[in-house]
């Protein structure tokens, strides 16, 4: 086989699957040292939602955690054909998914979620650390995770330097002792094809070495002309039982994506109403692209001293690089009133080219244990955290405002420029952030039905960077601007109280704080104080139907202050006086009513407002997050049919929200989307699933903060049908 054909063979996901099977098949021989001592087997199982550490650092059940939690399970992912993190979070209670520079970002309770944890180690959500266009990082493929946990509201014991929206914890797939192999193939209209194979098992006879390998490949076109995506992912992890009580885990992932995103959506008609452009309208160039590569390695060493005490050390490192080219039609100015019959033209929003790279390292040492005091046993934990993020961005821009008729536009009409000539701007950016933190917390368990969590997190955050202007406003520049190092320290307290009304029901309240350093300056030259926020909750949680169904209700209050306002004395400086508030209710039911009926239902009521006037658009008393629906409801049920139809199951879901607006007053009325699926299980090892989304083919626009008459209006997915085949060996 030629070298070219070998490379082509290895790139194909089915070929990778064959290699995985050969590597992990029980018949594959492994050399073992004859002198190896037989070790006591440690049962390593995939993490489940019964032990959450994302919110408090303690291993607690959802009912014991005094904050709002949602868990996206493998069953939900399989039943609904979910293949991306953004799609999963669209089905989660209270989460608002919005597009930003060709990527997706997530909000909860009106605030961003800018931290995502993988097995408890934090990294930044792509696009959240700096300008989203200057971000190299990308989200890992959903199929490498066992399940997803979402904590709504600030998580001050585990995340201090962040937004108060919440935290996502993605629990990776880990090796199993027994051999298993499963996967799926799915196909949808618009040439969407995706496959995955997941193989796991022991690599030696005494099962002290175990491995897992996941290969994913997918090609996805879009209902929009020209827009498409291509993804390849390979994930592997090894577990070593160094002793009966010591586990070493090593893993790595490689992911390569090629996207041709819809960067700007479509314009509105005069007056901010729907222009009537067809769903498939694509107003970007044929060379617009977002290519990214992600390399991830991680390690974990865990030692169990006894039944009560455990210490662990974790390390996670990400290397990312991306190439982003943007050329499309959009007029993102308040003066543009929209298209009409007399003026169907829309101008180009300049040409842009970003070459980005980033290195991110996170490490954590954690000690968890129990101690006795006053005739009761209590929980305690302590952690030391370190993280660093180094970003580079090379930005080129060419000013071009050529107008095109949106009704007759073709992506090939915009020719790709020579990126080495006639540049309007060529700027290099560097950004560096280092965080060090220490957390300490305990859970007092007395009297018997009271549980009081008390703790705090001390964080030191250091950030700096620089900007080099090679070309500015079409002229050679050469100016170098180095940001002054910003160093901030803060202690964030946390307390939570739960009271067990019955063994299955508890009420709780909690208070936590977060902060986020700022780089702006006051007129005195002093760095602005960090933006600080608090999250307060009171609620009730129950475990029903023999602990198979979780139900919760929470009232929440979030406040954020020290937000930067422009100083009227000198607009180059700011004052830290902005303040906003978000309040509301979360209700969720998830799990199984019985062996045949699974249900997920989530409702959120949210109102937010500015407590201080921040600008002519941000008036005190006005809605702080106009693009967040006041009411959101999401429901999905899956029912296993009885009797002679017991090989069949059916699911029905609905997602509905009330009207929203944007910062520029572009309105979207309330809407409801219906989804369903029908699954046929041919055997224990083979099943077929037909999944339909937006069954009524509702035309609507996605929630987005910066929708304008001239762009950032993204039509939601129309009706679609997906056929999926799941198999296991």
Taking the C-alpha atoms of residue 270 and residue 554, their distance in angstroms, rounded to an integer, is 42
For the segment 527-538, what is each residue's pLDDT rounded down to a tens digit? 788 888 889 999
| Residue that wins the pLDDT comparison between 165 and 485 | 165
Q: In the predicted model, what is the mean pLDDT of residues 467-480?
A: 94
Count of CB atoms situated within 10 Å of the CB of 154: 34
pTM (whole model) above 0.95: no
d(CA 13, CA 215): 6
pLDDT recorded at residue 50: 42
The better pLDDT of the pair 625, 5 is held by 625
Q: DSSP character for 643?
A: G
Measured distance CA(612)–CA(622) in Å, rounded: 10
Judged against a pLDDT cut of 90, whether residue 458 lies above it is answered with: yes
- Predicted confidence at residue 185, as pLDDT, reads 96
pLDDT of residue 10: 38
Query: For residue 129, what pLDDT is reported?
Result: 66
Q: What is the pLDDT of residue 406?
A: 96
pLDDT band at 560 (very low <50, low <70, confident <90, very high): very high
Residue among 429, 401, 360, 416 nearest 133 (CA): 429
C-beta of residue 532 within 8 angstroms of C-beta of residue 492: no
> What average pLDDT does this structure show over 63-77?
92
Highest mean pLDDT among 227-231, 367-371, 531-535, 568-572: 367-371
Pair 292, 257: CB distance under 8 Å = yes
Cα–Cα distance, 287 to 270 (Å, whole number): 29
Residue 351 has pLDDT above 90, yes or no: yes
Is a pLDDT exceeding 60 seen at residue 1?
Answer: no
The pLDDT confidence band at residue 410, using thresholds 50, 70 and 90, is very high
Residue 160: what pLDDT?
66
Radius of gyration, CA atoms only, the chain = 26
∠ at Cα 657 (636, 578), nearest 5°? 125
Answer whether residue 421 shows pLDDT above 60. yes
Q: What pLDDT sits at residue 102?
A: 83
Q: Identify the sign of the CA torsion 654, 658, 663, 664.
A: positive
Give the pLDDT of residue 487. 85
125-134, 319-328, 374-383, 553-562: which has the minimum mean pLDDT? 125-134
According to the model, what pLDDT value does residue 11 have? 39
**Terminal CA-CA length for the chain:** 30
Q: Average pLDDT, whole number, for the chain?
A: 88
Mean pLDDT of the 218-229 span = 88
Query: What percent of the chain has a predicted confidence (pLDDT) above 90?
Result: 71
Residue 52: predicted pLDDT: 62
Between CA 320 and CA 322 the distance in angstroms is 7
Q: Which 8-state DSSP code applies to residue 575?
A: E
Give the residue-averaged pLDDT of 24-40.
37
pLDDT on residue 154: 87
Stretch 345-372: mean pLDDT, rounded? 95
DSSP SS3 for 50: coil
* pLDDT tens sequence across 119-155: 988 888 887 766 788 888 888 999 999 999 999 998 8
Percent above pLDDT 70 for the chain: 92
Residue of 220 and 41 predicted with greater confidence: 220
Alpha helix positions (H), 25-141: 74-80, 85-89
Quick check: 255 and 141 in contact, CB under 8 A? yes
| Beta-carbon count within 10 A of 311 CB | 15
Give the per-residue pLDDT at 454. 93
Instruction: Please say if the pLDDT value at position 43 is more than 60.
Output: no
pLDDT score of 393 = 95
Task: Inform me whether the pLDDT recorded for 565 exceeds 60.
Answer: yes
**Confidence label for 194 from pLDDT (cuts 50, 70 and 90):** very high
Question: pLDDT tens for residues 668-705?
Answer: 999 999 999 999 999 999 999 999 999 999 999 999 99
Is pLDDT at 4 greater than 70 in this prediction? Answer: no
Q: For tokens 């083919």, what's the residue?
A: 697
């Amino acid at each position: 086989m030629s070298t070219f054909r070998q490379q082509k063979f290895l790139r194909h996901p089915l070929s990778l699957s064959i290699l995985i099977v050969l590597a992990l098949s029980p018949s594959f021989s492994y050399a073992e040292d004859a002198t190896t001592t037989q070790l006591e087997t440690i049962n390593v199982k995939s993490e489940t939602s019964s032990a959450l550490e994302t919110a408090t650092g303690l291993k607690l059940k959802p009912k014991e955690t005094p904050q709002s939690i949602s868990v996206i399970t493998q069953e939900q992912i399989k039943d609904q054909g979910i293949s991306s993190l953004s799609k999963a979070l669209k089905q989660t209670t209270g989460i608002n998914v919005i597009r930003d520079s060709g990527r997706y970002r997530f909000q909860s309770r009106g605030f961003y979620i800018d931290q995502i944890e993988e097995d408890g180690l934090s990294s930044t959500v792509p696009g959240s650390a700096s300008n989203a266009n200057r971000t190299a990082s990308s989200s890992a493929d959903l199929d490498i995770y066992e399940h997803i946990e979402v904590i709504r509201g600030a998580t001050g014991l585990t995340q201090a330097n962040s937004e108060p929206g919440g935290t996502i914890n993605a629990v990776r797939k880990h090796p199993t002792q027994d051999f298993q192999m499963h996967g799926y193939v799915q196909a949808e209209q618009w040439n969407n094809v995706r496959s995955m194979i997941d193989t796991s098992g022991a690599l030696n006879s005494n099962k002290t070495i175990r491995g897992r390998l996941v290969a994913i490949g997918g090609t996805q076109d879009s209902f929009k002309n020209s827009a498409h995506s291509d993804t390849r992912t390979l994930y592997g992890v090894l577990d070593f039982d160094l002793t009966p009580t010591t586990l070493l885990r090593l893993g790595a992932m490689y992911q390569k994506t090629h996207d041709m995103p819809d960067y700007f959506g479509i314009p509105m008609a005069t007056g901010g109403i729907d222009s009537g452009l067809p769903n498939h309208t694509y107003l970007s160039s044929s060379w617009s692209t977002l290519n990214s590569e992600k390399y991830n390695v991680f390690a974990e060493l865990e030692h169990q001293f006894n039944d009560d005490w455990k210490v662990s050390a974790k390390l996670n490192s990400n290397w990312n690089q991306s190439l982003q080219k943007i050329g499309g039609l959009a007029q993102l100015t308040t003066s543009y009133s929209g298209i009409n019959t007399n003026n169907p033209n829309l101008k180009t929003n300049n040409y842009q080219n970003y070459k980005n790279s980033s290195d991110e390292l996170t490490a954590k040492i954690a000690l968890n244990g129990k101690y006795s005091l006053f005739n009761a046993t209590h929980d305690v934990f302590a952690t030391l955290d370190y993280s660093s993020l180094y970003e580079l961005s090379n930005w080129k821009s060419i000013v071009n405002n050529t107008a095109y008729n949106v009704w007759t536009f073709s992506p090939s009409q915009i020719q790709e420029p020579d990126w080495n000539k006639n540049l309007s701007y060529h700027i290099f950016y560097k950004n560096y952030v280092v965080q060090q933190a220490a957390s300490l917390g305990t859970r007092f368990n007395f009297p018997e039905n009271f549980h009081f969590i008390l703790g705090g997190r001390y964080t030191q955050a250091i950030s700096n960077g620089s900007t080099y202007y090679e070309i500015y406003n079409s002229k050679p520049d050469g100016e170098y601007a180095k940001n002054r190092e910003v160093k901030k320290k803060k202690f964030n307290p946390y307390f939570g109280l739960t009271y067990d009304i019955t063994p299955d029901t508890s009420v709780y309240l909690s208070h936590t704080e977060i902060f986020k350093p700022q780089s702006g300056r006051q007129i005195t030259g002093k760095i602005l104080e960090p933006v600080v926020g608090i999250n307060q909750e009171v609620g009730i949680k129950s475990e029903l139907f023999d602990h198979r169904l979780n139900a919760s209700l929470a009232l929440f209050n979030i406040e954020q202050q020290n937000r930067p306002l422009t100083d009227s004395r000198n607009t180059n400086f700011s004052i830290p006086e902005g303040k906003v508030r978000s309040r509301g209710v979360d209700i969720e039911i998830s799990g199984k009513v019985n062996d045949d009926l699974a249900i997920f239902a989530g409702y959120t009521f949210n109102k937010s407002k500015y407590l201080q006037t921040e600008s002519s658009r941000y008036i005190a008393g006005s809605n702080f997050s106009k693009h967040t629906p006041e009411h959101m409801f999401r429901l999905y049920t899956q029912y296993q049919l009885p009797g002679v139809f017991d090989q069949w199951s059916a699911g029905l879901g609905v997602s509905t929200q009330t009207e929203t607006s944007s910062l520029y007053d572009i309105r979207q009325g309330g809407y409801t989307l219906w989804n369903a699926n029908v699954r046929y299980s041919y055997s224990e090892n083979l099943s077929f699933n037909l999944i339909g989304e937006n069954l009524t083919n509702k035309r609507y626009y996605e929630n987005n903060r910066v929708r304008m008459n001239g762009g950032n209006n993204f039509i939601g997915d129309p009706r679609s049908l997906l056929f999926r085949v799941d198999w296991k060996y």
